[in-house]
Structure 1
Amino acid sequence: MWQIFLRFLSLGLVSFGGPAAHIGYFRQTFVKELGWLDDKRFAGLVALSQFMPGPGSSQLGFAIGYYRGGLNGALAAFAGFTLPSFILLYLLAVTSAQWLDNGYFNGVIHGLKLLAVVVVFDAVLGMFGQFCRRKLTQGLMLASAVTMLLLPAMGAQLLLLCLGAIAGAVWLNGQQAGEAATSAPAIRLNPVWLGLFGALLLASFYWLSQGSGLTLVFAQFYQVGSLVFGGGHVVLPLLETHVAQAMSGDRFLTGYALAQAVPGPMFTLATFLGAELWLEQPLLGALVATGAIFLPGFLLMLVGLDSWHFIAARPRIAAAIAGVNACVVGLLLAALYRPVFSNGVVSPQDMALVLVGFGCLKLFRPHIVLLVAGFACAGVVTGVWLG
């Protein structure tokens, strides 16, 4: 378990760039460097995480930990990946943030945003070669990317994934059948996790109307985690609706800006908000809010993970997954442009660093730590040079 925790902790310290970049970091580390799972298994877990409400990249990390070490491994992966951003946002909630104006710090952040461009681009290329070999899958990838660039909405993403599954089940079934098990076992669903998810969701509606204190904080953030698909920045409007009466808009936006400046999942914005909402014991408020917003997605992932390998063994479902995988590549391609590229590359010097970094990655395959150190230093140097 410690190996899983430390691997995810090292990623939690450097994973800037949002969910799309996190997928790239996970693929680079656990598929290409460590070989904990292959591309096919990785893409299946990505597809599963896209269908579940909650933080997509954290759910993917949770699933990788589960695949490697069971439930304890999943919890170790979550703790390692989330701990750095939790600590940073908690400290920023209870202390002054004036030091964030430091030019060297901003240079490091900018350099790591450029690294995110390199990592996501490499992930797009690799997943395209693996999952978009046929004209149909290439068409699904292209349609998904174009749609998400023009209509970047949660509903559009869910619709694309559903259409991709249908197209794959109808037109790829014969081609995928040979890759799936010829005699698939019966699907066994464990109702415990699903029942717990539903019970807590029903209770949260009651606690929102009748509860107070930490019970109310838990209910607010559990509902957000239950109702948001896609993770990342999609969580913002629903969170704002839930805490608008208890927090100033300026303080909320401060937390949102800080959540973008630290590595790790965007959902740890809940850490900052929880500390602000429960000033009597801010650490307790941060723990309750963070646990509540992640919990529903993880409960539903456990429902899917317990039966995913049985479900995926069926030929028609394997074909549907192939369609979903193609759409996921398109979603990742759209995310490469916005927000990863558009927020990171703001000058010709930035583009030059991205090209050099990508060349180094493809030619020399350096460890992710070396890439992080190189881009952090480059961000500081260019910041001083141009500033």
Structure 2
Amino acid sequence: MSHTPHPSGRVREVFGAFLLLGLTSFGGPIAHLSYFRTEFVERRRWLSEQAYADLVALCQFLPGPASSQVGFALGLMRGGAWGAAAAWTAFTLPSAIVLVLFALGTAVLEGPVSQGIIHGLKVTAVAIVAHAVWGMARSLCPDSRRAGIALAAVFTVVLVSGPLGQVAAIMIGALAGMVLCRTQDATQAHTLSLPVSARVGHLAALAFVLLLVGLPLLAWASPSATLAVMDAFYRAGALVFGGGHVLLPLLEAEVVQSGWVTPDDFLAGYGAAQAVPGPLFTFAAYLGAVMGPLGGSLLGAALALVMIFLPGLLLLVAVLPHWNRFRRWVGAQALMRGANAAVVGILGAALYHPVFTSAILGPHEFALALTGFLLLSVWKLPAWAVVIILAAGGIVITL
């Protein structure tokens, strides 16, 4: 029987384990979950294989960054509330710091080489989003009903621009899933034990709703750059179904269409986010550092980063006490199938605009983007390697 560390020792243990993962976990959320399984199920034996699988199922069910939610829950299991905070901080900060440094550096970089790198990063976004659409469509739209929901989502976001279109597409997809996707087999559920009381869960749910409803009202009643930024990033984080790539259309609607961030800066940062380890949600830190309302500051980066993660973590805490009963409800599973199919449509629409239309200016860019797509999908290169290759390609086609 191994020695059980003191609670403060457990928090340090959690921080150290997740800091290493935050520095080395390339490849996106599915890869992150594989790293977590190896580290915490096989090596450290913090929980059983069955318990880990159930935890992953919970976090994939909820909107928000699945890998960060799993990490937060693992920290909660191991070290309580402080362990959860340590896990999130250690896993998130490495990539956030790198992206903020990139944001600050782009303001002083000049010349054809730096412009070529930025151009290559924009083309990288085309390849990575196309790869994400392709992979998500195969897993989330395997039948004609869910393919139809995805197509309806494309028409919805085309006809209704901005965040309202994305919200409407997800809601329509969820309702369609309730009607059309009930014939699927129910997911097998296993008991999951996490130290969250029903009272804490209710408070987290209340906080989630109050912030989602209250922030836009406060921003409208008392115009403030800080409140506007908090509202935009909180709402984007609250509506992300299907992984970090879905942030692209949501954040583009919030920060580019509002004029806070230029399209070029937006796509360059999104491309750079593929080259760093850790969660893709740290793209928010880059945006906070370059956008106009708060003067492009470290405060803006920190505020955007916290607000985009907060809704997903609040929802996780809210659901944990009730999850074992809820996920046995066939209707809930059908609802999420429809919502996830709608996500594919939203991302597919974003692949054309703004990603393709902003980055592909001619045959050279198209060939470079196609190269990146094939490197990801056929040769299975990691995303960070593709970023480096396409950034170098951007220099070549710019010179």
Matched, 1:232 2:251: yes
One-letter amino acid of the counterpart of residue 30, structure 1 = H
* Alpha-carbon distance, 1:325 to partner: 1.1
- Report the equivalent of 2:148: 139
One-letter amino acid of the counterpart of residue 234, structure 1 = A
Q: Distance in 1 between matches of 2:219 and 2:131?
A: 45
One-letter amino acid of the counterpart of residue 77, structure 1 = F
- Report the equivalent of 1:249: none
Q: Is the 8 A contact 1:176 1:318 kept in 2?
A: no
Distance 1:205 1:143, change over 3 A: closer
The DSSP-based 3-state class of the residue aligned with 1:173 is: coil
* Alpha-carbon distance, 1:123 to partner: 1.7
* Alpha-carbon distance, 1:28 to partner: 6.3
- Report the equivalent of 1:26: 28
Matched, 1:371 2:356: no
Distance 1:320 1:275, change over 3 A: closer
The DSSP-based 3-state class of the residue aligned with 1:364 is: coil
RMSD of the alignment, in Å?
Answer: 4.4
Normalised TM-score (structure 1): 0.68
1:1-387 correspondence to structure 2 within 5 Å: 1-2=15-16, 4-5=18-19, 8=22, 26-27=28-29, 29-30=31-32, 45=59, 48-49=62-63, 59-60=65-66, 62-66=68-72, 69-70=75-76, 71=84, 72-89=86-103, 97-99=107-109, 101-177=110-186, 179-181=187-189, 190-196=201-207, 219=227, 221-227=229-235, 231-236=250-255, 258=265, 260-262=267-269, 263-264=272-273, 265-266=283-284, 268-272=286-290, 285-286=299-300, 289-290=303-304, 293-294=307-308, 296-303=310-317, 306=320, 309-310=323-324, 311-384=326-399
Distance 1:234 1:361, change over 3 A: closer
Q: Distance in 2 between matches of 1:290 and 1:134?
A: 37
Q: Distance in 2 between matches of 1:340 and 1:41?
A: 33
* Alpha-carbon distance, 1:11 to partner: 7.8
One-letter amino acid of the counterpart of residue 300, structure 1 = L
Q: Distance in 2 between matches of 1:277 and 1:321?
A: 39
One-letter amino acid of the counterpart of residue 357, structure 1 = G
One-letter amino acid of the counterpart of residue 63, structure 1 = Q
Distance 1:358 1:225, change over 3 A: closer
One-letter amino acid of the counterpart of residue 48, structure 1 = L
The DSSP-based 3-state class of the residue aligned with 2:142 is: coil
- Report the equivalent of 1:243: none
The DSSP-based 3-state class of the residue aligned with 1:313 is: coil
Q: Is the 8 A contact 1:82 1:268 kept in 2?
A: yes
Percent identity at matched positions?
A: 22
Which deviates the most, 60-69 or 106-115?
60-69
Q: Distance in 2 between matches of 1:318 and 1:237?
A: 34
One-letter amino acid of the counterpart of residue 337, structure 2 = A
Q: Distance in 2 between matches of 1:340 and 1:207?
A: 29
User: Can you list the C-alpha shifts for 1:14-38, whole angstroms capped at 9, x where unaligned?
Assistant: xxxxxxxxxxx62564368987899
Normalised TM-score (structure 2): 0.66
Q: Is the 8 A contact 1:168 1:324 kept in 2?
A: yes
The DSSP-based 3-state class of the residue aligned with 1:133 is: coil
Q: Is the 8 A contact 2:176 2:338 kept in 1?
A: yes
Structure 2 stretches of 5 or more lacking a match? 1-14, 39-48, 77-83, 241-249, 274-282
Q: Distance in 2 between matches of 1:182 and 1:67?
A: 16
Distance 1:346 1:147, change over 3 A: same
Q: Distance in 1 between matches of 2:53 and 2:146?
A: 16
Q: Distance in 2 between matches of 1:196 and 1:126?
A: 34
